Structure 1
């Protein structure tokens, strides 16, 4: 920036160069034009009000546990292989069908858990889940 002229007079320039200020203002204007529609990205809709009750009751959850010896527990009650098949068929006939959550001890042979899964599939259980514990944090 020059505060003087080329000749040797000691006059100070009294004018301000407004071009950089106009450039900055135009950039800010463009930024606001772009960001305001993005910040308001929803459409206001006045929805009608109605009261209704839930039609689908939540299905019950059945917990099938396999302990370290390979014994089955149906909702914490001990059961054998034959009775397990009967319980699974009875649960499969319910409406809505319950969810089967299988939790196996980490020391049990995988074969026992696989047998329980196969029995549930043969009985017609559609929703099967596994219950695990998260690893312990040190």
Structure 2
């Protein structure tokens, strides 16, 4: 509380009350004293070490290519296929270990329901690795 002693009652007081400022600074000091040790706390973990001499060579499996035209016709590795043939090819390739990646290339005007049906067939056959191929945007 600021108190004035004198006869100039009613005029503005020119003294600064520093009590609220000191209270805020003490609270901040206590907060920083509590949180500072928590900031430097470290957790020790055991990271695995890589040993390239014992690593098995990974088999490089070529990806499977599926092109979908605007009218819904499909080409599996550049050969025309029907929906039934595609499902059987996907089921055969899903059993391979390691499983190849299916790369789907659909025309810009292809309806999404066609692509959605292909994705559903892919999932039902057990294929896990599916990618969508696009073309680069024109530069300029």
Calculate the TM-score normalised by the size of structure 2.
Answer: 0.59
Question: 2:120 matched to which residue of 1?
Answer: 118
Instruction: Give the RMSD, CA atoms, in angstroms.
Output: 1.8
Number of residue pairs matched by the alignment: 90
Distance of 2:116 and 2:106 partners within structure 1: 10
CA apart distance, 1:116: 0.8
SS of equivalent residue, structure 2 residue 61: coil
**Structure 2 gaps, min length 5:** 1-51
1:77 pairs with one of 71, 76, 79: 79
Calculate the TM-score normalised by the size of structure 1.
Answer: 0.60
Residue by residue over 1:37-83, the C-alpha shift from the partner in whole angstroms, topping out at 9 and shown as x without a partner, is xxxxxxxxxxxxx8667432022210011012111110010000011
Question: 1:55 matched to which residue of 2?
Answer: 57
CA apart distance, 1:107: 1.2
1:132 pairs with one of 125, 131, 134: 134
Please say which structure displays the higher CA radius of gyration: 1
Distance of 1:66 and 1:133 partners within structure 2: 14
Where does 1:1-138 land on structure 2 (aligned, <5 Å)?
A: 54-138=56-140
**Structure 1 gaps, min length 5:** 1-49
